[in-house]
Amino acid sequence: MGVKETTELQGGAADFINQIAVLLRTAQIHSMNNHAFVSLIDKFVSSAAELLINEKTLALELRGEYFYLNDFRVRYSPECVMNFDFLLREFRKAELGSVIIKPGLVPEDMKTFIRVFIASSFLQRPFDSMKGELSSLPGLEIRKIRNVSEENADLDIKKLVRKTYFSAVSYTKGIFHSVRSGEKVNLKKAKRVVASLVDRLVEQEQLLLGMTVIKDYDEYTYYHSANVSILSVALGHKLGLNRAMLIELGMVAIFHDIGKIEVPHEILNKPGSLNDNEWGVMKKHPQWGVRSLLKMRNLDDLTVKASIVAFEHHVNFNLSGYPKLKNPSATDLFSRIVTVADKYDAMTSARVYSKVPISQDKALSIMMETTGKEIDPLIFKFFVNMIGVYPIGTLVMLDTNEIGIVYENNHLFLSRPRVMIISDNRGDLTKGRVTDLMEKDGNDAYVRTIIKAMNLKQFNINLADYFL
């Protein structure tokens, strides 16, 4: 193989992967006889034939996080990251390690491959069933994924995410205690905790977001502060902030309610609603937050930023909230991000003064009404895309009469997340199998579809039981 051919292969490789990803996706939404799908298949077969002029076969292999075409690592370009990631997940789901295309490939072979590929990922032993169905195709061969400890790795990641979450909560608790007793807070450790939070989020966004459904009634403020930090960082990530900014954002978000330390316990934990007087005190927590922050720290950059967010997080996008500003000006970007995360987490938590939390999807629609007034409409748009139409933790009724909990979102098809089934069609509780709402049956129809979201409280379900 000469140098020229090698470059040609590399140039074609990204396109090769893109085409397979598009084929899969198209087949998932449309029927296999759809005109668009048929012409995509033809296009794929002819571009494969072109590459096969200089190559004996085309072997697309998944190794770890990367695809290799005939042993060359395929470069990720920003335009195709979505397709690459999508295909990577689909390969893993089907335990598929490589696809080898041979010179005799005809459109019908490719069509069979796509059909079998989609169907397999919902079966118990996806690769074996796929292998059986494809064994007679002359133009195409598949091999199993090499990483046998995938499942263990999955478990390890879950453990790591859990550990990150709880260290954020316990660290927050530590900060509040130090501030309460007038000690200096060690920000070096805070930076470490938040940096690992940021890294976990970038790798495992859905898993870590899933943890934020955990709310603790007695230790509300600590869990709330950690959740707001996680949601803010995830949102900042979606908005394109770099790692250093995300760490800063995560840190200042932890401190947003630090002023509540000075709100008397009877008011903070009062059962029932607050009277005007008590609300007046509660509304002081932004100013008190600034005071605490300035007391505990020297006036450095981070303290200033944390103070701004503590002061502004209830001011609202149109400045209609509190405190009232003497010289009205737009609020800081970090404040606007934290405000969205804060409102969402507060609404979806049960607190002393509102025993029944609002369901996640309801919270989103209530927040939707306040865009442009209380919250920044653009930031909220990114938030909805991140959280999904049915956020993680939403209890949903399916058209199969099963009941499930949204487990992981699908950013391309917001209404088709992965769902953990917790009650079967007879109403009996089940073990919590996770199923993908993208799954289709033999007639190309979706197996399960969400009919509606339901109120968690009615069913007496503790989300933490399912996410821990």
Chain contacts with Fe ion (rule: CB under 5 A): 257, 342
Distances (CA, A) of 366 to 156, 176, 341, 456: 37, 31, 14, 17
Length in residues, the chain:
468
Residues 6 or more apart whose Cβ sits within 8 Å of residue 140: 99, 100, 101, 102, 105, 109, 110, 113, 134
Shortest Å distance, C-beta 311 to Fe ion: 11
What are the b/e assignments for 322-355, b being 16+ CB within 10 Å? beeeeeeeebbbbbbbbbbbbbbbbbbbbbeeee
Shortest Å distance, C-beta 282 to Fe ion: 9
Shortest Å distance, C-beta 342 to Fe ion: 4
Owner of token pair 């395929």: 74
Distances (CA, A) of 258 to 30, 122, 215, 459: 51, 47, 18, 34
Tell me whether residue 110 or residue 197 sits nearer to Fe ion (CB atom): 197
The continuous run of DSSP H or E covering 117 comes out as helix 107-120
Shortest Å distance, C-beta 321 to Fe ion: 10
Tell me whether residue 98 or residue 172 sits nearer to Fe ion (CB atom): 172
Tell me whether residue 25 or residue 285 sits nearer to Fe ion (CB atom): 285
Tell me whether residue 257 or residue 376 sits nearer to Fe ion (CB atom): 257
Tell me whether residue 205 or residue 257 sits nearer to Fe ion (CB atom): 257
Owner of token pair 């339901």: 454
Tell me whether residue 257 or residue 402 sits nearer to Fe ion (CB atom): 257
Shortest Å distance, C-beta 349 to Fe ion: 10
Computed on alpha carbons and rounded to an integer, the radius of gyration of the chain in Å comes to: 26
Shortest Å distance, C-beta 322 to Fe ion: 10
